[in-house]
Structure 1
Amino acid sequence: MKFLNPLIVVTNMEKAKKFYYEVLGLEVIVDFGANVTLTGGVALQTKDTWSAFIHKQDSEIIFGGNAAELYFEEDDFDGFIKKINDIEDINYVHTIIEHSWGQRVVRFYDPDKHIIEVGENIIMVVRRFLNSDLSIEETAIRMDVPVDYVKSCLI
């Protein structure tokens, strides 16, 4: 057995495809109308077909549960933040925060209230610390990771 991809339910397929393309750069690989697969392995399914698949009423499909997220990493985190700052309809869970290990992240909702997290690529975090004159050992301490992990990010 192997895991293939996450599937999220959407109320408006065209709006969802536009959001995932314009905000995250995901392109449609396969489009069956009610089911669409995007680059990165994200699948979208219309609410009406999903409710039929699981034998539930549309009213039983609840959005905005804040119990899961789709996680992305971005090499050019600052560029991504600039990009989404120019998009009017971003509904933030929170703006940029920096986790204790130094990774910067932002979380926002898609049009159906699924949480999207975009984090700074962890290799870029290592490089940012090293470029700020921290040594490999100091970077490992700052990030609370082994020195070998920091070294592996430099390969």
Structure 2
Amino acid sequence: MKLKNPMLVVTDIDKSVEFYKKVFGLHVIMDFGANKTLTGGLSLQTVETYKEFISASEITFGGNNFEIYFEEDNFDKFIDKLKECDIEYVHPVIEHSWGQRVVRFYDPDKHIIEVGENLKVVCKRFLNSGMTPEQVAERMNVPMKFVNACLK
């Protein structure tokens, strides 16, 4: 058994492709018309065909029970880029207790997208601020092995 990729049902496949291209730089690598696979393995499926696949008369969006997660090395630059996009935020940038900054927002069909600061970047940020490796491990609640790997 092998997990292939997540698939999102979308109301306007061209609008969704453009969104993921503009915000994340993803491109179509397989185009089957009603289904498109983007770089990174994300697939999009038209709502009309998906209704047929599952024999449903209605598909609901915006359930807030699922998200797609991305990590970004240059988090501040990405946040600046979002300011140029028409984004509906779930919440602004927050910092979790382990120090990782994240932002959540909706795609055009109200699927939640989370973008988090790369955890190795978080670790290096703490180390560069003068924290000892032991303090970083405690602050981030990660094993010393992770912190030591970040030192390399």
Q: Which residues in structure 2 correspond to 1:2-151 (within 5 Å)?
A: 2-57=2-57, 60-87=58-85, 89-151=86-148
- State the alpha-carbon separation in 2 of the partners of residues 86 and 22 from structure 1: 10
Distance (whole Å) between structure 1 residues aligned to residue 129 and residue 150 of structure 2: 16
Partner secondary structure for residue 72 of structure 1: strand
Q: Per the alignment, in what secondary structure is the counterpart of residue 100 of structure 1?
A: coil
Task: Kindly report the root-mean-square deviation, in angstroms, between the aligned alpha carbons of the 2 structures.
Answer: 0.8
Task: Identify unmatched segments of 5+ residues in structure 1.
Answer: none
The 1-side partners of 2:151 and 2:31 are apart by 39
Q: For 1:5 and 1:45, locate their aligned partners in 2 and report how far apart those are by CA, in whole Å.
A: 12
Moved over 6 A (4+): none
Letter matched to residue 66 of structure 1: N
Cα distance in 1 for partners of 2:2, 2:141 equals 32
State the Cα deviation string for residues 70-121 of structure 1 (Å, max 9, x = none). 000000000000000121x200000100000000000000000000000000
Name the CA distance, whole Å, in 2 between partners of 1:4 and 1:52: 22
Partner SS, residue 95 of structure 1: strand
1:84 alignment partner AA: L
Give the whole-Å Cα distance in 1 for the aligned partners of 2:27 and 2:132: 39
Give the AA of the match of 2:131: L
Alignment partners' CA distance in 2, 1:24 and 1:92: 16
Distance in 2 (alpha carbons) for counterparts of 1:26 and 1:37: 10
Deviation at 1:153, TM superposition (A): 2.4
Q: Distance in 1 between matches of 2:42 and 2:150?
A: 27
Partner of 1:82, secondary structure, is helix
Deviation track 1:117-136 (CA, whole Å, cap 9, x = no partner) reads 00000000001001111111
Q: Deviations over 1:35-63 (max 9, x none)?
A: 00001110000000000011111xx2000
Structure 1: distance between partners of 2:15 and 2:33: 13
